A = this chain, B = another copy of it.
Amino acid sequence: MALQRLHHHPLSPFCRKLRLVLAEKGIETVLVEEPWWERRLPFLRLNPAGKVPVLEIDGLVLSDSNAIAEYLEETRPEPPLIPGGPAERAEVRRLVAYFDDKFHHEVTVNLLHERVTKRLSRQGYPDSQRIKAGLAAIRYHLDYLEWLADQRRWLAGERFSLADIAAAAQLSCLDFIGDVDWDRVPNARIWYARIKSRPSFRPLLADSLPGFRPPAHYADLDF
């Protein structure tokens, strides 16, 4: 079988989501780091939208993290990451959209883009208004995460799913830059410690980025 190639960037939450999916399903993948903001021509040929992640697999070039996750679920169904019947699967997908769309636009974009991407891509200084908006929004969203973690074994219900992966992917990027106040949300913290201890998560915690140093608890499994 030809080896799969994932074009990614270490602090892209959508790439982290797919790295977790690939690892959970035991699909060996070569990681190719792509500085997507440079809009390099060879990369634009793979994905005209210019965004990571892009996965080369089965002779196809796939983009969009959800389209890829659904493709992997259809072609490599074990272990299931969108498990159960239609109702359970709808709840998984609702939460994936919540973290990929709402949480990402209200929190991750405001904090990660301003603090990291702008520096990497030399787009200027962080906008303090956006950082303020992101820090206000993350409190609200962490409260929702805390409620879910208190009510359920995993975020979408009894089973570990793509919802946990999507949430952990966003949060791990924010945790890298020290923007998650875990002390406020004890149940969410336990949930996140359980995710961090999964073998699929280890490679993410080993990522490094020149010029950025994550907080001490970032890679600590018993934080």
Contact = CB atoms under 8 A, between A and B. Distances in A.
Contact of A89 (B49, B74, B97): B74
B64 A93 contact: yes
Contact of A68 (B64, B71, B74, B90): B90
Interface string A91-127: 1011011100110010000000000000000000000
B71 A89 contact: yes
A87 B71 CA distance: 7
Nearest to A70: B93
Task: Give the interface centre of A58, A86, A105 by most chain B CB atoms within 10 Å.
Answer: A86
Nearest to A60: B87
A95 to B, nearest CB: 9
Nearest to A73: B86
A129 interface: no
> Majority SS of interface residues in chain A?
helix
A40 B138 CA distance: 23
A97 B64 CA distance: 7
A64 B105 CA distance: 15
Interface in A107-158: 144
Given A49-B102, A101-B101, A105-B105, A94 B75 contact: no
Contacts of A89: 70-71, 74
Nearest to A47: B94
A66 B105 contact: no
Contacts of A58: 87
Interface in A51-68: 58, 60, 62-64, 66-68
Interface of A: 48-49, 58, 60, 62-64, 66-68, 70-71, 74-75, 86-87, 89-91, 93-94, 96-98, 101-102, 105, 144
Q: Which 3 A-B pairs have the closest CB atoms?
A: A67-B93, A67-B94, A64-B97
15 contacts: A48-B144, A49-B98, A49-B102, A62-B90, A63-B94, A64-B97, A66-B97, A67-B91, A67-B96, A68-B90, A70-B89, A71-B87, A71-B93, A74-B89, A105-B105
